[in-house]
Each structure stands twice: as C-alpha cells, then as structure tokens.
Amino acid sequence: MKYIFFILSASLLLNACTEDFFSQTVKIDPPEYDKQLSFHLLLDNNDSLLRLTVTRNYGILETVPANEGWYVKGATAELYENGQKLVTFSPLSADSSFVLVGLMPHPFQTGSTYEIRAAHPNYPTVRAVQVVPNDFQVDSLRIRRNAIPGEFGDRLDLLELFLQDQPSVKNYYEVTLLKKYYDYTYDPVTGTYDTTGIYEYPLPVDGYNDPNVQFGFGNSGLISDQFFDGQSYKFQARFSGNNGGPDSTVTVRVRNVTEDYFKWSRSYQANYDVDENPLVEPISVFHNLENGLGIFSIAQEKNFEL
C-alpha cells in the first residue's frame, strides 16, 4: 500500500505542474452600460470665457480608440441663469468641434441658479444645476517659514489662514497653495535667458493640523463648516517651501465651493490614492451630470499672494 500511495502522489504532483493546471480560460460577456456624454466644467466667479470639452464613456472591455477618438464632435451646449438662456456655446474650430466655448455677458451672480445642458443626436441629453455659493471673508493669512520640523529632519513652512464663516449656511471651503514657475529660452546671440511664460502649479502639502481637513483634487485641502458654523476658523497647512528664497512667492487660492464639488473632489482624490493599490477596494467618483458622467460646479474664489 505504501508503494501505491507513493505512485499516486507522484502522479498528482506531475499533473499539477503542467501549464493547464495553473491557467484557465474563462469566457464572459461584457457588462452592459449606457453610452453617455462626459465633461468637467469647473467654474468660479472670476470666469468670463467658458470652455467645455466633450468626451464619452467606454465599457470595461472596450478598446478606447487612439488619436483623440474618445472626443465627441458635433455636440451642443447651453448655460441657463435662473431658468433663462444665458450662453450658447459654439465649436472652437472646425478641427476642434469637440471643444465648445462661450462668453459670459456678466459675472456669475451670488445665490443665482445656473444649469448646463449638453446634447448630441447619439447620446441622451445631459444637464446639471448649481447655485453660486455665498461670498466669504478672509480675515488674515500668513506663511511662517521653517516653522515646524518635518518627518525626515527637514523644516516645513506653515500656512495660517483665518476665515470668518457665515452662520446658519452650509459652506464648503477649499484651500490650494500655488507656486509660480517660469519657462526660459536661451538666446545664443546675447547669451541671456528670456522668460517665455509663467504658470502656476499646486504645491504638495505635507499635512493639515486639523484632522477634519481632507485632501482633495489638485493638492487642495477641503473642510466643511459643520465643525465651526458661524465662527472664526484657523486653517493650517504644512508644506515644503524654498526657505524664503528669491522665488518664494506663494499664491493661496481660497474658494467657497458647492457641496457637489466637495463630494467630487474628495472622492476623486480618494480614488486616485487607491488606484495603484490592488488590495484596496475601488472608490467610485461622485458626479452630478444627469444622464452623463462628470462634474459641473461654480465657486466663489479669492487669491492672495504671499
């Protein structure tokens, strides 16, 4: 019996090492989905030129076409203010008809309701509604250079921003730190460099002193006033500056955003954080486009250079 058991065990081991044992082909039907228009229209009270790039969604097992094949050409879009048509979008150009642009006849009005509508013959009509948030007050702000120790023995800068919140109103704030960067071109004749452009890029934030502040889209910090309704609030962010060097100017962008944007930004960042980790359950990104995918929002924005 011992010999028979040994022969059977060896046979099972050899069969287990074959290629067919470790791989198996399973045929599945692709999950059904509705083809929808998709776009992101993130506006604030300072915007006058509106720009909308129209794309579409694809199924899990579909191949997304190359050469900008995911863009949707021939769509139309309109913006309504308190139920009245305000802006009719038009194609940017014949070659870029998937980009729609429009010009605001006047600034966005606080407390007014705005509705975006987009349509295309091959897709359901898309709409979303937002109310412009209230204006807000920033009492003071400052940056303390090399204020606190970092995780690796370095010194971090500290932003301190004081907000005065409006009572009995739900407010959602977003704070982003931006740094100016310059493009230079070299002139071989004069041997000098000329500035060709200036652009701002969000500074990475090491963390926030308030555990209720959450990371959001674009290295921003998000906070709801449910923790300080109607009171003065001190927002603090730790970040790596350049120790007050000659290019040490930082722009602090403070915005009062809608609840929809707050949910989208928070879920977008959370999805990004887990996207590279196969052991974490995926997070769905919030969207507010009816019959579509994406986000429409309008914010109150103030910028401060320090």
In the three-class reduction of DSSP (H, G, I as helix; E, B as strand; rest coil), residue 110 is classed as coil
The domains found in the chain, sorted by start residue, are 37-131 (2.60.40), 137-257 (2.60.40)
Q: How many CB atoms lie within 10 A of CB 41?
A: 22
Residue 4 pLDDT more than 70? no
Question: Poorest-confidence range of 30-44, 131-145, 190-204, 286-300?
Answer: 190-204
Q: Length of the chain in residues, anyone?
A: 306
Give the pLDDT of residue 200. 81
**What does DSSP say about strands 192-202 and 292-305: parallel, antiparallel, or unpaired?**
unpaired
Mention every residue, 6+ apart, whose C-beta is less than 8 A from residue 40: 53, 294, 295, 296
Mean pLDDT, range 298-304, rounded to an integer: 97
First-last CA distance in the chain: 86
Give the pLDDT of residue 33. 73
Q: How many CB atoms lie within 10 A of CB 80?
A: 16
In the three-class reduction of DSSP (H, G, I as helix; E, B as strand; rest coil), residue 168 is classed as coil
Residue 253 contacts residue 217 (beta carbons within 8 Å):
no
* Angle value at C-alpha 129, between 128 and 134, nearest 5 degrees: 145
Distance CA 282, CA 275 (A): 7
The mean pLDDT value of the chain amounts to 86
Which letter does DSSP use for residue 210 in this model? S
Joined tokens for residue 80: 């309504």
The type of residue at 195 is T
* Angle value at C-alpha 161, between 198 and 246, nearest 5 degrees: 35
Mention every residue, 6+ apart, whose C-beta is less than 8 A from residue 193: 184, 185, 186, 187
Helix or strand (DSSP H, E) at 95 = none
- pLDDT per position as a tens digit, 272-284: 888 667 677 778 8
